[in-house]
Structure 1
């Protein structure tokens, strides 16, 4: 995997700012093609989902510890749960950002591929390339659907966590904690569903990466 990028290319990308097409062009000049970038970005998205799984699980554990709190410093337990919720939000934002980057390079790759097929003069090679493009698009569409489906499971969990944190912020006592205990089972179910969808997405990522590397 071409993870090592020269200082010159990094400097160029900084100068180019947000212009992705110019960035891809600069990277291609040093042999780092859109296909390579796409593989790396899918891997990054997969890793961000794995990190999000861990973070949401940690947030659930701290919430459970808060709800089961029996004596001691209640505010300290609340702050730990709040910190884990905020870290889960950051992890979710990173997942979304990584998926967006996958979609950006995919669009550039497929546009380039489709355009360059027209430059192939030999019919058999052109048909073969068209077939591979269709197959890759199909796999990619399945991958992104899986990623976005997992992503969509995060927001309801984060909303529930935020509601609990805000409610407890101004009512930090045993009675208030008791009031939200009934919602914990639902939160557990939602996080379990989220992790399951992320596992599916991670599996799709591995399949897609393997398919690209074998083409």
Structure 2
């Protein structure tokens, strides 16, 4: 009986997930259809979303550098209100987490429209009666997909770099919150070296992703 309840619960959860996904896909399709009716095509939406992601990555670069600078000031502590220092460190952590969430959200939005765009493109290629035009369209599609794959991989690489930095920033914030004394600063000085290295790697990977974003934007605008 207990096993049956567990199975029914699992089935119910799976059904909920499937229904949610169906509704989500349906909403997205309806959105794209509505936009096309006013002259905004998936290609335009894709371009806008890549530009938005590029901006969010640039903002994240600034924010993570700011968080690192705040830690640098903290470990140079020479007297003062450590409670106030904790508030500043915690604010930087929360702002960095918000930036990371924004970047992640932008990547998801890009992947969503990319799937729809490439599916539509593939379907429309089959409608050509001219073999020459069909081949040209297929070549453009393959080139766009290759550039897109390079872009999305670079975005994920930068995104993955954010996780350890966020964990370290959170750890430092929690440690300082419960150890408002000079000894705590000494302990954080060791952590700062690792965080500095990770932030520098993150900023470098984000720069590459931003560069890849621009290349993809240029490609969409010229084709």
C-alpha distance after superposition, 1:22-76 (max 9, x if no partner) = 1011000000000000000000000000000000011111111122111121111
**Larger Rg: 1 or 2?**
2
In structure 2, the residue matched to 1:194 is: 202
Question: 1:168, 1:53 → 2: CA distance?
Answer: 24
Question: 1:167, 1:131 → 2: CA distance?
Answer: 55
In structure 2, the residue matched to 1:168 is: 176
Does structure 1 retain, via aligned residues, the 8 Å contact 2:57–2:103?
yes
Q: CA deviation at 1:172?
A: 1.2
How many residues in Structure 1 have an aligned counterpart in Structure 2? Answer: 200
- For 2:71, which of 36, 46, 63 is the aligned residue? 63
Using structure 1 for the length normalisation, give the TM-score.
0.91
Q: What's the RMSD between the two structures over aligned residues?
A: 1.3
Higher relative contact order (CA 8 A, sep 6+): 2
In structure 1, the residue matched to 2:61 is: 53
In structure 2, the residue matched to 1:151 is: 159
Does structure 2 retain, via aligned residues, the 8 Å contact 1:69–1:77?
no
Q: CA deviation at 1:143?
A: 0.3
Structure 2: state its 5+ residue gaps. Answer: 1-23
**Range 18-27 or range 28-37, more displaced:** 18-27
- For 2:109, which of 98, 101, 105 is the aligned residue? 101
